[in-house]
Amino acid sequence: MNAVKIYYTMLHLECACMWRKQLQCLQGLMFFCLSVVFLPFAVGSDLNILQAVGPGYMWIMAIFASLLTADSIFSIDNQSGFLEKTVSAPDCLTAYYFAKLTAYFIFSSVPVILLTPVLSLLYQLSIFTIIILSITLTLGTFILNLFTLLGSILTLPVNQRNNLVQLLILPMITPVLIIGTMASYFTEPNQLTFSYIYLLLAIFLVAMFLLPIASIYLLRCGNT
């Protein structure tokens, strides 16, 4: 079998597994919804404040929602021995990694991204802000998922369940957060907005190049 075929098989498998664990996938989504709804209770229902804080707050909560289920990505495969088999099988590992990445993106981030425009209406954000927010969140959560997978591989040998992934990942993704939120603070089309999106795209390309290499390297020879 060639690599692409293995990738599709693996992706099918991962999606089936994720579909079985619906509640776990919904966990992040519910967290995101609730935290967005709860912000006005804390800072008051003044629309000026909500519009000023809203995009950045939604970014942070999307990041937390995506990190919520991070430490279970590889641990089940590790316990069942599936990961070990994949590592020892010839040229399976890369396909496995990318299948995991895609499945995790589809099931943990895509629902959040799809719900963002709806929830933005609660803060009465402008149409342009909503569009930009959706675009930057799509790119941003994908970069975040690359980091999350790395973090979950790094913490595989850790015995007890803990929240180490958040500590490892959050400082690393500061640039993504900064650039992503800067882009989404404009209320109307602006030259600067697009330059921020291009910057985010640049970070995406660099991360897409480096992080899979590091993650696959660690899976192959470090941890299991």
- Residues forming the site for other proteins (CB under 8 A): 150, 154-160, 162, 164, 167-168, 170-172, 174-175, 178-179, 182, 203, 210-211, 214, 217-218, 221-223
Residues 6+ away with beta carbon under 8 Å from 128: 186, 187, 188, 189
Number of CB atoms found within 10 A of residue 128's CB: 15
Task: State the nearest-atom distance from the C-beta of 7 to other proteins, in Å.
Answer: 24
Rounded to 5°, the CA angle 200-219-88 comes to 135
The answer to whether the CB of 163 falls within 8 A of the CB of 123 is no
Output the CA–CA distances (angstroms, integers) from residue 204 to 25, 133, 144, 173, 176, in the order listed. 24, 16, 9, 11, 9
Cβ-based nearer residue to other proteins, 131 or 178:
178
Cβ-based nearer residue to other proteins, 72 or 162:
162
Task: State the nearest-atom distance from the C-beta of 219 to other proteins, in Å.
Answer: 11
Task: State the nearest-atom distance from the C-beta of 204 to other proteins, in Å.
Answer: 12
Cβ-based nearer residue to other proteins, 44 or 222:
222
Task: State the nearest-atom distance from the C-beta of 200 to other proteins, in Å.
Answer: 11
